[in-house]
Structure 1
């Protein structure tokens, strides 16, 4: 059983259900407002959630059967990394984990943007690493056709993740010396070139951002399949999985057997890679929280009717329309199976994100699954996830380390 159990809230649009924006009280008119995202994230921070992830992609929204933008759901989004950096000063403890794709993005920009977030949040940045597989996304950049298979995309992403890690390590902790007597601001010998040439990317030189508080912010990757699990083991510090999800249609409440087999995907990939490290694995669950099971089921049915299709047919994760006590019970079961935490996808924002913060967190404390927020010291995000401090590849026996 894990020593600590992480609770992460996944934020997307007006909620993960495509019809959530139609509800009375939904924040559909404020989704392009920084004030809205600040309020949502501050609530998670104040009431004790370990981290929030912010969804992003190169598409403005989902497409319909004809390949055109589906105008029945939320279309348009703010850049997740910029939102995270903007809300960071208003928060104290919550981890901020934007989704940043590597498929059409230069590793240098990925590295420096996330380093900046780690600085402005005082060590609370993370990175949800994502690939962008569609020709529609590729067309926005005009450099390649897109539509590559998962194997090719993951091969490129492995190289990008390696380069980003090298850039994060390129400044020693004590590279800035500010020696007024000699007039030297930095010690040049404590800045190292990333020096990487691969099949897909090549980088020469160092980051422009000094080493950040965590050294290397934790990397999160979603593993739906055995191939994705191998990729996550190669690149990520924290692995997200979807027990009960089918990678397409018919996502359902996960059974104990499904949850075990999904966790085994990651453990098998670690063994195949010869890794002694057992990464924290978090279960992704889509949730709608009601005052009773019947009320939650009716609310989900109403949303599905408005959308014209059951959300379970669209989701890659299990979909739980449930109560707080039942959700606590399912979370306890996942912990007993060896999961290190959960990432909850609220179907309605702010209704379900608020219920996670105001109702679920204290219920988990009462159940002994979390410490009371007042008794937990502020910690960097690596510590929150139970990940060891990042030691630079350039660290020496003289003690230059992350």
Structure 2
């Protein structure tokens, strides 16, 4: 059966693009990567095109090739908050070497700054323990168990202020009702946090939590904690199967699968013609050869990609897609052609012109 909800459209902004050689293109604006204008321009272009979500990847590790270095994703989202109006901003923030109290405050603050458009993509950090010197390197099981505790702490802290805790009673001088602030009193294997937060409950109550379901540990976290689950799949049929399995697991965990969205990563490169797009990618590969894509990909025109997106929706392969441009600057001008019209969203065909010749 077709999906009831319209297909969510997201864009991942990974530096100059997902391809490590994308910075060598003359249109890459690589020299602006560490300035605010680059990121604000890209996010506003995505918003103006009608996309729903913007994902900002982050990591403690330096890239091994391509453009080296990155800004803090939460800080980038905060910079763009006042200059965007509708698009959801979902920075990636690593839990492995970060205190959940700090993460809860940062994402809650972003939700206030965006008037309720913030999310948080959870990530763990492998091989970076020596950057911090606070604890030894952990194995996968420990990292993801810690991530699970971190999400529990963060979401409890978001709820540690009741919605009407701020009373601002000038006559009595009471700014808050302390009876409506709550100690979370969490004690786990990795964290012991008393609370409450120092930031009021976010506008959304709970900003959206995103998890990439890539292995048994991250899948378990996604099933139990995520509002948005990102997947990779080699085909739309494989994506549909993964979506069905995840929805069943979410239901088995006691959650409503209709409240969880599964988003398929789609690697893209867009150009005016399919031949031009293929030539662009051939140039990127000539500069730096990469492995074959691990997920659905499209190299061609925006109109052709629009057809792929319709197929994703009609085949129930996913509840949405996250477009991962190989070269970000090359994709931005074509994004408006991807967003559906109101008729598309309602499932109504475009009427045939009554005066046109057959």
Same fold by TM-score greater than 0.5: yes
Alignment of 1:359-398 (within 5 A): 359-361=337-339, 364-365=340-341, 368-369=344-345
Quote how far apart the aligned CAs of 1:367 are.
Answer: 7.1
Quote how far apart the aligned CAs of 1:267 are.
Answer: 2.2
Q: Distance in 2 between matches of 1:259 and 1:34?
A: 35
Q: Distance in 2 between matches of 1:152 and 1:35?
A: 39
Aligned to 1:41: 43
Q: Which moved more, 1:124-133 or 1:138-147?
A: 138-147
Alignment of 1:2-401 (within 5 A): 2-62=4-64, 70=65, 73-133=66-126, 135=127, 137-149=128-140, 151-244=141-234, 254=235, 256-278=236-258, 279-307=260-288, 309-312=289-292, 315-338=293-316, 339-356=318-335, 358-361=336-339, 364-365=340-341, 368-369=344-345
Quote how far apart the aligned CAs of 1:269 are.
Answer: 2.2
Deviations 1:104-128 (A, max 9, x none): 1000000000000000111110111
Q: TM-score scaled by structure 2?
A: 0.91
Aligned to 2:350: none
Q: Which runs of 5+ in 2 are unaligned?
A: 348-358
Deviations 1:147-186 (A, max 9, x none): 512x221111111000000000011111111111111111
Q: Distance in 2 between matches of 1:322 and 1:146?
A: 43
Q: Which runs of 4+ in 1 moved over 4 A?
A: none
Could you say what the CA RMSD is over the residues aligned between the two structures, in angstroms?
Answer: 1.8
Q: Distance in 2 between matches of 1:116 and 1:283?
A: 28
Distance 1:359 1:126, change over 3 A: same
Aligned to 2:352: none
Q: Distance in 2 between matches of 1:305 and 1:261?
A: 35
Deviations 1:259-285 (A, max 9, x none): 222213312422442433331111111
Q: Secondary structure at the match of 1:350?
A: helix
Q: Secondary structure at the match of 1:166?
A: helix
The count of corresponding residues between Structure 1 and Structure 2 is 343
Quote how far apart the aligned CAs of 1:6 are.
Answer: 0.9
Q: Which moved more, 1:45-54 or 1:224-233?
A: 224-233
Q: Determine if contact 2:247/2:257 at 8 Å carries over to the other structure.
A: no
Q: Which runs of 5+ in 1 are unaligned?
A: 63-69, 245-253, 372-402
Q: Determine if contact 1:2/1:335 at 8 Å carries over to the other structure.
A: no
